[in-house]
Amino acid sequence: MRKPVVGVIGNSRMVDGRFGIQACGTKNLSAIADVAGALPLMFAGDPGITDIGALLDAVDGILLTGARANVHPTRFNTEPCEAHEPYDEDRDAVALALTEACIERGVPVFGVCRGFQEMVVAFGSSLHPEIREIPGRMNHRMPRLANGEPHPDHNIVFADRHDVALVPDGTFARIMGKDKIRVNSLHGQGILEPGKRVVVEGVAEDGTIEAIRIADAPGFALGVQWHAEYDPQTNPINRALFQEFGRALSEQHKRAA
């Protein structure tokens, strides 16, 4: 029996400063294969390569992954700033249009970190380029050494760092079976003002929005600010998310058969 297929968005990279490539993290692919029970298929985050209609005809769902690049500020009516680079405008063009197309068609879409930000911007939200600069907010960036270098221990980088309060009886609370969870944190941008169809379902202890759904979406349309793809094989919170995504993929696969 054919497995459901999940399109996993790629990111623009340069090798040796000369060769353009598309890449995505292996953790994303493993989460889809190991926990969602589907076949991951990477597609280019480049509108000159990826035809959204053809892509959605070929897959049963979409995973919008995290990435180093920020969503370009012009996508939410803000001036760009060198301090908040890098950007990946090709991926912006694909991901925002793709999010809208998924919702319109009822194709399951799951956004993680940057993917979460892409989903909310696609539906009218604004972002703050550095959420830690807002008074009262914590530093949501990845842990670093005293010299400013990224911490070399992934167990520290991806450790659970703060609580998220979930809306009682909401979609996430139902999936998790609880109203409070603890998650990792590795992001700079964050939601400033949510769009009308962006339903806030989880908030960190400092007020940062961490979990959303898209209102009136006919299919799975959830996003999380944390990196749920890192350890769903062992982390019950992240496993529950990818299992729920997997169930939605299976239903979509059956409908398309």
Give me the pLDDT at residue 145, please. 66
For the question of residue 227 being annotated catalytic, the response is: yes
Looking at per-residue confidence, does 5 or 140 come out higher?
Answer: 5
Give me the pLDDT at residue 142, please. 67
Query: Average pLDDT in the 46-75 region?
Result: 93
pLDDT at 153 over 70: no
Identified catalytic residue from 187, 227, 244, 253: 227
Query: Average pLDDT in the 65-73 region?
Result: 85
pLDDT at 192 over 70: yes
206 confidence band (pLDDT: 50, 70, 90) = confident
How many domains does the structure of the chain reveal? 1
Q: What is the CATH number for 212? A: 3.40.50.880
d(C-alpha 99, C-alpha 95), whole Å = 6
79 backbone dihedrals φ, ψ, rounded to 5°: -75, 135
pLDDT at 171 over 80: yes
Identified catalytic residue from 113, 130, 187, 253: 113
Q: Which domain holds residue 219?
A: 5-256
For the question of residue 113 being annotated catalytic, the response is: yes
β-bridge pairing 221-224 and 109-112: parallel
14 confidence band (pLDDT: 50, 70, 90) = confident
Give me the pLDDT at residue 35, please. 98
Share of the chain above pLDDT 90, in %: 67
CA-wise closest residue to 170 among 199, 196, 190? 199
Indicate the average pLDDT of the chain.
90
d(C-alpha 237, C-alpha 143), whole Å = 21
> What strands, in cross-sheet order, belong to the sheet with 5-9?
39-43, 5-9, 61-64, 109-112, 221-224, 209-214, 198-204, 162-166, 180-183
Give me the pLDDT at residue 49, please. 96
d(C-alpha 209, C-alpha 28), whole Å = 22
Q: Tell me the CA distances in angstroms from 135 to 73, 107, 165, one per residue in order.
A: 21, 38, 20
Give me the pLDDT at residue 1, please. 65
For the question of residue 229 being annotated catalytic, the response is: yes
183 backbone dihedrals φ, ψ, rounded to 5°: -135, 170
Sign of the torsion angle spanned by Cα atoms 226, 228, 231, 235? positive
Query: Average pLDDT in the 132-148 region?
Result: 71
Query: Average pLDDT in the 212-226 region?
Result: 96
140 confidence band (pLDDT: 50, 70, 90) = low
Give me the pLDDT at residue 157, please. 65
pLDDT tens digit string along 70-116? 898 889 877 777 766 688 899 999 999 999 999 999 999 999 999 99
Query: Average pLDDT in the 48-63 region?
Result: 97
12 confidence band (pLDDT: 50, 70, 90) = confident
Residue in this structure with the two tokens 């939410």, named with its chain if needed: 76
